Amino acid sequence: MKILKNRWIGLSMIVALAMVLAVGAACSETSDEDESETRGTLYLVDQDWNGQLVTTAVMQILLEQEMDHTVATKFAPADSAPLFIGLEKGDFHFVCCNWPSYSAALLEEYVDADDGAKVERVGPVGITGETGWYVPSYVINGDADRGIDAVAPNLRSVSDLNEYKSVFATSDTGTKGRLLEFTAAWDTKPAERLEAFGADFQEVFAGSEGAALAQVDAAFQRGEPVLTYLWEPHWAHAKYNLVQIEMPDWTSDCYPGGSNYNCGFPTDAVAKLAWPGLKDEFPEAYQFLSRFKMTNQQQNEIVLNLTENDLTVRQAAQAWVDANEAVWRACDP
């Protein structure tokens, strides 16, 4: 009876505390001691791009430091079958940043299946993704200060690419222009788009985000032309003056809705996905992760800090958490 009474008092205190925190619109709540002892490890997914890694690190830090959870990360490539299989089985519990247009077929199979969801869509992160092809501004406008001539002055859209294919050609593409891509594992469909645009260009995969950005950086250092796949939000836009090449607008008959590739990329409402067992196994974490939001600007500033100041992902995320308590407490930035 005594135990029961104590538990009841404990519980009402937690409810009262939760109410106090709710007034401050707190996102993270104080954990029940008993629960933190019996709770297992919560596995967040790390992927192969820095915007994803810093967002995951911020979530991990808040779950550990504010909510007393034991958190670890496991790696799964973005938009891959192993990611979705792991989320279905519970090997992974949560992934912060799925770009729907990159994994249309997998979302159809695991999230929007007619026979029920095997992976739960938890809602938007708050980040709006734009994908496209970009060139340095000096390629179009020149840069008098650096003595760089405009080598493609009339380049506006993909229909202008052939006029300048020799400008973008390299030893590995012969007479064709070169389109720098990141990794073949992401479903960006460069070959299909180039063909649909009638552009005599060849896609070349750098292998990773880091390797591709090293090539972009080298081109900037030398003032050389480069045509690269990239997205926003991305720290590269703060560091380099990049101009996006126009593509025909995305419409519903375009990939991934349809099979037309003579189109630009759709805008992505970047989404959170979870193992369906998360809400019962880790209810407080589920509540927190459901409400967690981050803007394009916030994700960019953390990654830019990491890149410019040579920080680790964890250091950059911790610096942001320390400097932005009001933002993450409000949980609706």
Ligand X SMILES: *[C@@H]1O[C@H](CO)[C@@H](O)[C@H](O)[C@H]1NC(C)=O
Residues that bind ligand X (CB under 6 A): 301-302, 305, 309, 311, 319-320, 323
Whose Cβ is closer to ligand X: residue 103's or residue 300's?
A: 300
Whose Cβ is closer to ligand X: residue 251's or residue 297's?
A: 297
Nearest approach, Cβ of residue 309 and ligand X (Å): 5
Nearest approach, Cβ of residue 143 and ligand X (Å): 28
Which segments of the chain does DSSP mark as H helices, in order? 2-23, 33-38, 50-65, 81-89, 104-110, 137-141, 165-168, 190-197, 209-222, 236-239, 278-281, 283-291, 296-309, 313-323, 325-330
C-alpha torsion angle, residues 28, 31, 35, 38 (rounded to 10): 80
**Angle formed by the axes of helices 296-309 and 313-323, to 10°?**
130
Q: What DSSP state is assigned to residue 159?
A: G
- CA 18 – CA 29 distance, rounded (Å): 7
Instruction: Write out the two tokens for 177.
Output: 């222009």
Nearest approach, Cβ of residue 317 and ligand X (Å): 9
Whose Cβ is closer to ligand X: residue 85's or residue 319's?
A: 319
Which residue shows structure tokens 């030893």? 171
Is the torsion defined by CA of 212, 134, 333, 284 positive or negative?
Answer: negative
Nearest approach, Cβ of residue 54 and ligand X (Å): 10
Nearest approach, Cβ of residue 232 and ligand X (Å): 18
Whose Cβ is closer to ligand X: residue 39's or residue 234's?
A: 234
Whose Cβ is closer to ligand X: residue 98's or residue 298's?
A: 298
